């Protein structure tokens, strides 16, 4: 049995876990405080964990003197959460625990004597907490292409770069029909974005030479299957989250990739790597609206075939094969 811990923020972690675990041979149990919805079909069992972030305003010493990331003292949610995880480990005795992502869960599993695989994150992860977690992990999986993004701090750990993991890997693209105007898709996710539906309306009024569409932007509807719209876009404008980038790569669409504010410069590092490699127009933040035509035309001048370098094809299967091998060996 493999245990797979899934962070509750946004949809990205559970979508990635579902993609990987669909290719696993070893039985797997999902451990998360987020309801998994249809993603639960990829797992043999699901354990819903208590939340540990319901008293943020009153939380004290959340970092244990800057050693960890989130361990508020005397917090009932944290205590119940760790008890649930420890009880599951003691009862199930998994061969391996996959963590995406939590320094504290990584350390808990290792203190129970369970080998741990951690999903690495982009950015500057050289703080005490990340260093501790990565050092105790048996293996790291980096869900991006080392050819495009090779952070210096990750080189000292046993790491497999499997490529960008997208739920659309292998899905055929619908036949594209050219319109009178280029279609610009502004795509966001549930992890948060600076763009709103009102912004989209302003862009549409100001630059009518493009057909503007939005998916997942604040104030707009949520679409469970963006694939038809994504593949039909002439240019995609999206944030630099790992799932969004992998989905754009799977669709092989010209893109403007924009870094949203995230801890450890996570998205900025990804956007910078994509810009330097010529896969996309990468920006540190949302640009002045005056610059949209130039940015869109720059993106249209890129060769979408270059997205192959992000190595989406077979990425989830490669990650699953690593986990199966480590589980069998342990």
> What is the pTM (predicted TM-score) of this model?
0.95
Tens digit of pLDDT for each residue in 205-255? 999 999 999 998 877 777 889 999 999 999 999 999 999 999 999 999 999
Q: How far apart are the first and last CA of the chain?
A: 11
Q: Which residues contact 156 (CB under 8 A, 6 or more apart)?
A: none
pLDDT in tens, 252-280: 999 999 999 999 999 999 999 999 999 99
Note the pLDDT tens digit of each residue in 118-136: 999 999 999 999 999 999 9
Chain segment 142-194, per-residue pLDDT in tens: 999 999 999 999 999 999 999 999 999 999 988 877 778 999 999 986 555 67
Contact 99, 108 (CB under 8 A): no
d(Cα 262, Cα 271) in Å, to the nearest integer? 12
Specify burial of residue 64 (Cβ count, 10 A radius: 0-12, 13-18, 19+). Answer: middle
* Structural domains for the chain: 2-165+314-329 (3.40.50.2000), 183-310 (3.40.50.2000)
Angle at 62 between CA 93 and CA 153, to 5 degrees: 70
Q: What is the mean pLDDT of the chain?
A: 94
């Amino acid at each position: 049995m493999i245990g797979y811990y899934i962070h509750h923020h946004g949809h990205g972690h559970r979508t990635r876990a579902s993609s990987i675990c669909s290719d696993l041979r070893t039985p797997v149990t999902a451990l998360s405080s987020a309801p998994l919805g249809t993603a639960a079909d990829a797992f043999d069992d699901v354990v819903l964990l208590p939340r540990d972030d319901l008293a943020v305003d009153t939380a004290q010493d959340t970092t244990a003197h800057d050693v960890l990331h989130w361990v508020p003292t005397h917090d009932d949610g944290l205590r119940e959460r760790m008890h649930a995880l420890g009880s599951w480990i003691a009862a199930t005795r998994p061969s391996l625990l996959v963590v995406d992502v939590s320094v504290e869960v990584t350390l808990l599993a290792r203190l129970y004597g369970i080998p741990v695989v951690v999903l690495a994150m982009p950015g500057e992860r050289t703080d005490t907490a990340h260093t501790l977690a990565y050092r105790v992990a048996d293996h790291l999986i980096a869900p991006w292409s080392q050819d495009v993004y090779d952070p210096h701090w990750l080189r000292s750990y046993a790491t497999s770069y499997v490529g960008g993991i997208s739920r659309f890997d292998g899905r055929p693209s619908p036949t594209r029909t050219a319109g009178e105007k280029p279609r610009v898709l502004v795509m966001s996710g549930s992890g948060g974005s600076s763009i709103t539906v009102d912004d989209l309306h302003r862009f549409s009024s100001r630059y009518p030479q493009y057909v503007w569409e939005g998916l997942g932007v604040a104030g707009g509807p949520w679409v469970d299957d963006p694939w038809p719209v994504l593949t039909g876009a002439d240019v995609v404008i999206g944030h630099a989250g790992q799932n969004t980038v992998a989905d754009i790569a799977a669709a092989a669409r010209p893109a403007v990739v924009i870094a949203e504010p995230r801890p450890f410069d996570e998205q900025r590092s990804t956007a910078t790597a994509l810009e330097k490699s010529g896969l996309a127009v990468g920006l540190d933040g949302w640009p002045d609206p005056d610059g949209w035509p130039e940015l869109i035309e720059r993106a249209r001048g890129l060769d979408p075939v270059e997205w192959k370098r992000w190595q989406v094809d077979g990425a989830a299967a490669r990650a699953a094969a690593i986990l199966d091998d480590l589980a069998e060996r342990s």
